[in-house]
Structure 1
């Protein structure tokens, strides 16, 4: 990915992310700097209007450290070159670690990481309150009921923003941190939604009778599944997923200024118990489509039709 704005950083630069789809006050770019065999990460304003946003990230560091306490270490930032500099960390982010274990058919290890993450979130300080400022900030409508709220709005504390370094869980990005209470269940929902969307192939690879997957989300025509044990473990802390989806839509509109294309909830969640079921069903449908163009194969088609129906019934 190339840089699309003037940058005076020395050394060899590689763009890691460019948030050009955001509103001007929130546009940032993240680059990897390699200089004299040393590496560093810079988060920079991608528009003049975003300079204050970048400074707020630096200013909020002490708030994050105080709040996250013993559960997480927060990567220390430094103000340099009009942006924020972070030390380059060698490790793996939590999202990739979960995906790696799933693809290795080691659900127990992946589940342990997910469970550990949820335990750390649940152990953060909460206050029982109606999140009025949260509703006001994102122009949310509807009743504001009393909820368990994170006393500091660390809604970006999702697995991809956490690095595991020598056993320590290091928060590398607190871009969206709000100094007001935010419903704890919203952070959990964001985590579920993003894992379902980003590591879906890894999740599907472990589908089995002992590890059933629940099709909770849909992105376009594609169903996004999550392990049922994960959903069961977070349900005591979550209310209406529909309400939380509305919160996420409102937040994304706040960031981008437009209606977001994100994973939505399925009207009727289904169950997947085999990673091979969907692939087999597609092959059967393709074969049936081909055979229909050939004469004298009604018997074969009948067998295929019954196989497709049987495959579909097993997958739902």
Structure 2
């Protein structure tokens, strides 16, 4: 079974306004509401690709209820912990002459709530896949991902981590199956500017030396790189297409990689699936569908 964890899920309210002006009444010309958060994005794309999974995390209030309802509507099982204080956040994304965002705070997660999460994680079985993705709310310990991996280290799980800086670096001694920084985040970890794929490979291998098994690096319009635990290196240019929505593209890459690996056991096929799934989401107003991913796979065979 596949599980994702999203510590601070959201309702993403995306509005389009022509010529937005501050201090004035502005009217929307288009509106979209969907459940958000990196782990949730992974769950939705996995489901689109035909992989049942369970989304774990925390929810509160009427917004939390709506997040769960929308996930169930999309076929994703939501098994969130109900938090008593506060409400799940609403993130407003304004599309106009410029794009702006206002992100909500989220509920007050207590130690008792975290304990309930551990109880759910204790039910995972050997061979299960766990995805830890996104930032940690300020009310939670910054060591949360590391704490979870330490808690689960006796289980034979494949754990994927998509996080930044210390959240990511701290889990490396616990040998995550997959980590997915982008090239800028990779450079930040080592205090360098990364300019090409040779640099990406060099520093990805340094993360392997610290404990990571497979390192997948997204490079936006410059493509992607994968360095595997068995010594293989894969590089790809980015598929061509019109960028419509970069939100969720990295999460989609993680979902595609996992779907490809679980289907074939091949890192080469997982890499292809990851690159095309991430790009398919970037070329779509919403997250990638299976048909959109397959169309890119058929079109972009020369990239791999």
TM-score normalised to the size of structure 2?
0.30
Computing the radius of gyration from Cα coordinates, the structure with the larger value is 1
Normalising by structure 1, we get a TM-score of: 0.29
Q: Which has the higher contact order (CA 8 A, sep 6+)?
A: 2
